[in-house]
């Protein structure tokens, strides 16, 4: 896997790792024994894509300022910082939908493209009750990655019993985004 899709996967994993309170009988965290969605929806990504030095510098800058003690350099949310520096989001914290879709579609096979567009539009229209980022980009991206993987084209889906259980769990509790392994 190249550096560029490693960055995208790291970002998606980061936004889906926040713990969120749920209601009803859905647990706060994804059960440890459950197979993760990304292991059920197996996707071959374009191996020619690589992360540029500018992209590495942007991520490093955000990681370093999130650890900074100086309020002048610190940001509210590392994912926001990275998305702004990479052009996925404007300084006004508005998501650059066309650019996000262009980047995602350049990494994913064509049979995912319609779903990426629908998923991003749906998730941007939601309000999230528990996010760490003022812009709610963490909620949007967790929702987005869950929706794309839940609507995985059949040829990419692993249809074993574990993945059937994972899909059933997310169909029931998927709106309570933020599942993570403890």
Of 134, 182, 154, 177, the C-alpha closest to 12 is 177
Reading the block at residue 63, the tokens are 């990681």
Residue 89: beta bridge partners?
A: 95
The predicted-structure confidence for 56-101, as pLDDT tens digits, reads as follows 888 888 887 765 555 555 667 888 888 998 999 998 989 999 999 9
For 26, 52, 81, 126, the CA distances from 7, given in Å and listed in that order, are 30, 11, 14, 25
| Boundaries of every domain in the chain | 3-173
Residue with tokens 């749906």: 122
Q: Tell me, what DSSP letter sits at residue 156? A: G
Q: What is the pTM of this model?
A: 0.74
Cα dihedral sign, 70-130-175-102: negative
Instruction: Report the alpha-carbon distance of residue 35 to residue 22 in Å, rounded.
Output: 20
What does the block give as tokens for 83? 């998305």
Contact 178, 142 (CB under 8 A): yes
Residue 138 CB coordination number (10 Å): 27
Please compute, for residue 40, the number of CA atoms within 13 A of its CA located in the half-sphere on the CB side: 25
- pLDDT band with cut points at 50, 70 and 90 for residue 14: very low
Give the pair of three-digit tokens for residue 16: 């889906």
Q: Which of 6-10, 37-41, 147-151 has the lowest mean pLDDT?
A: 6-10
Least confident of 57-66, 152-161, 172-181: 172-181
Bridge partners for 41 per DSSP = 157
């Amino acid at each position: 896997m190249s550096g560029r899709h490693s960055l995208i996967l790291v970002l998606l994993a980061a936004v889906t790792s926040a713990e969120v309170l749920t209601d009803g009988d859905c647990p706060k965290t994804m059960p440890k024994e459950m197979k993760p969605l990304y292991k059920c929806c197996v996707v071959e990504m374009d191996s020619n894509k690589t992360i540029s030095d500018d992209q590495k510098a942007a991520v490093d800058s955000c990681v370093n300022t999130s650890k900074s003690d100086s309020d002048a350099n610190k940001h509210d949310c590392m994912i926001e910082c990275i998305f702004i520096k990479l052009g996925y989001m404007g300084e006004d914290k508005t998501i650059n939908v066309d650019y996000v879709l262009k980047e995602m579609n350049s990494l994913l096979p064509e049979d995912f493209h319609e779903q990426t567009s629908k998923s991003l539009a749906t998730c941007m229209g939601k309000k999230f009750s528990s996010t760490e980022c003022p812009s709610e980009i963490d909620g949007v991206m967790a929702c987005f990655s869950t929706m794309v993987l839940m609507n995985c084209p059949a040829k990419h889906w692993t249809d074993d019993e574990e993945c059937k259980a994972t899909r059933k769990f997310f169909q029931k509790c998927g709106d309570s985004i933020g599942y993570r392994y403890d």
